Amino acid sequence: MKTIIGLKELRNNVEAVAEKISKGESFVVFRKSKPIFEISPVGDGLWEEVIDFTKIKKGGVDIKDILKRL
């Protein structure tokens, strides 16, 4: 279930809201009694790992090397 929060409340309490999001809570943000956007944790299944560059090279791969090969 998503928690409803006003835009002003989000602005005034962004750190507290971010902490709740990191613990799995989702929010629907309203302005003038209308929903304008949703905030959900990243790990909610909408994102998938395409490639982990740290598996190619310890510490990752330099973006310049990647762009040269495109």
How confident is the model at residue 50, as a pLDDT? 79
22 is written with which tokens?
């990191």
In the chain, where the domains are located: 3-68
How confident is the model at residue 47, as a pLDDT? 66
Contacts of 26 (CB under 8 A, 6+ apart): 2, 3, 38, 39, 40, 41, 44
* pLDDT digit string, tens, across residues 3-21: 999 999 999 999 999 999 9
How confident is the model at residue 42, as a pLDDT? 80
* pLDDT digit string, tens, across residues 18-67: 999 988 899 999 999 999 999 988 865 666 777 777 888 888 888 888 88
d(CA 18, CA 56): 32
How confident is the model at residue 32, as a pLDDT? 95
User: Given this structure, which CATH class describes domain 3-68?
Assistant: alpha beta
